[in-house]
């Protein structure tokens, strides 16, 4: 991020993503930190908190870490963001909510990709014993090695 580019003001350079109606839709007040966080996660699916803070600061200048955490919590509680936390990974956020899609995680670099709902036989999604619970969700995480990592010998 060079300073020379900062003076160029192109309001329309932002993607067509519009955070404001989403915030209004869940009755959250439209604030610049909320818009910045929502936009950052939209542009960087599965971003961790550090990268979200970095891009929010790139947008708004000084914003406290706590403020970003608060916004992430509020947006997640409102259902605008989904928080995922694969084992051994820091929490990550995405704006693709509502479809309970799955994730595939690289064991080597931690890269995460979306996987649509499982197709074919999915016996593990049907609990053999539901213990009387009304099951409404099963969480699936696929682990493996991403293409970049499987071609680059690691050490």
Q: What is the rounded (10 degree) CA torsion for 135, 42, 16, 59?
A: 150
Binding mask 102-141 for Zn ion (x = CB under 5 A): ----x-xx-x--x---------------------------
Shortest Cβ 115–Zn ion spacing (Å): 8
Shortest Cβ 43–Zn ion spacing (Å): 14
Shortest Cβ 89–Zn ion spacing (Å): 12
Task: List Cβ neighbours of 117 (8 Å cut-off, separation of 6 or more).
Answer: 99, 100, 101, 102
Binding mask 53-92 for Zn ion (x = CB under 5 A): ----------------------------------------
CB 81 within 8 Å of CB 34: no
Shortest Cβ 142–Zn ion spacing (Å): 12
By CB under 5 A, is residue 48 in contact with Zn ion? no
Q: Which is nearer to Zn ion, 76 or 108 (CB)?
A: 108
Q: Could you list the residues that contact Zn ion (CB under 5 A)?
A: 94, 106, 108-109, 111, 114, 146, 149
């Amino acid at each position: 991020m060079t300073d020379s580019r900062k003076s160029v003001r192109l309001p329309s350079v932002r993607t067509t993503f519009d955070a404001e109606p989403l915030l209004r839709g869940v009755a959250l007040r439209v604030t610049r930190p909320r818009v910045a966080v929502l936009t950052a996660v939209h542009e960087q699916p599965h971003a961790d908190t550090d990268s979200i803070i970095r891009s929010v600061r790139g947008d708004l200048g000084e914003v406290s870490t706590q403020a970003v955490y608060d916004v992430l919590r509020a947006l997640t509680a409102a259902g605008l963001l989904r928080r995922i936390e694969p084992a051994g990974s820091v929490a990550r956020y995405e704006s693709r909510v509502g479809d309970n899609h799955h994730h595939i995680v690289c064991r080597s670099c931690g890269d995460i990709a979306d996987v649509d709902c499982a197709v074919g036989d999915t016996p593990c999604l049907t609990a053999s014993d539901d213990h009387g619970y009304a099951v409404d969700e099963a969480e699936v995480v696929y682990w493996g090695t991403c293409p970049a990592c499987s071609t680059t010998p690691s050490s």
